[in-house]
């Protein structure tokens, strides 16, 4: 840019040049509803600089949240993940770090925590498409239904064994 200033009766002209290399896009905060099956949906607040979020899905077996992005150039994404959806804890119950993979390669992420959520800021490169965030616990896929099925199964076994006099130890 060139700025030219002209002032006064003696007609003084001053000119200066500068280059502005600020952000080309301003990140906006958005909410993505992650479907957790029978457990309902969870709101993941995110903002991204350069690129768009196409989808977020839960991998129940891998204890992971997979974020699909369309990255037109290098950028960052910040995700605020509710602890009710997923978390990373040590065996003693303290906060642990999430493992973050971009297209299968492990990357570092800036991580902060509050009592209700975990926030991750992840840098990505142009062409990256899948960000996988792996924790130690994720919302149960079946939750209360699994506990109910287990309880019914145990009660059924007790009832059948009482009626048929099924014994675990042989009688001599």
Determine the pLDDT at residue 47.
Answer: 92
Q: What pLDDT score was predicted for residue 170? A: 61
Question: Which among 56, 123, 133 has a CA at the least distance from the CA of 87?
Answer: 133
Query: Closest by alpha carbon to 52, among 67, 68, 34, 70?
Result: 70
Burial 40-77 (b: 16+ CB within 10 A, else e): eebebebbbbbbebeebebeeeebbbbbebebeeebbb
How do residues 83-108 score in pLDDT, each as one tens digit? Answer: 999 999 998 989 999 999 999 999 99
pTM: predicted TM-score of the whole model, two decimal places: 0.67
Residue 165 banded pLDDT, cuts 50, 70, 90: low
Q: Rounded mean pLDDT of the chain?
A: 85
């Amino acid at each position: 840019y060139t700025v030219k200033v002209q002032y006064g009766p003696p007609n003084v002209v001053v000119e200066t040049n500068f280059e502005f290399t600020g952000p080309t896009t301003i990140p906006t905060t958005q909410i993505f509803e992650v479907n957790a099956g029978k457990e309902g949906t969870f709101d993941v607040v995110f903002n991204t600089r350069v690129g768009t979020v196409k989808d977020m899905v839960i991998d129940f077996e891998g204890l992971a949240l997979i974020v699909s992005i369309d990255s037109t150039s290098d950028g960052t994404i910040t995700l605020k993940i509710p602890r009710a959806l997923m978390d990373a804890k040590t065996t003693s119950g303290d906060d642990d770090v999430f493992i973050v993979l971009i297209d299968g390669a492990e990357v570092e992420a800036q991580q902060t925590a509050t009592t209700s959520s975990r926030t991750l800021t992840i840098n990505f490169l142009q062409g990256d498409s899948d960000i996988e965030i792996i924790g130690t616990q994720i919302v149960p896929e079946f939750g209360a239904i699994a506990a109910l099925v287990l309880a019914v199964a145990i009660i059924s076994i007790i009832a059948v064994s009482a009626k048929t006099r099924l014994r675990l130890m042989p009688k001599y």
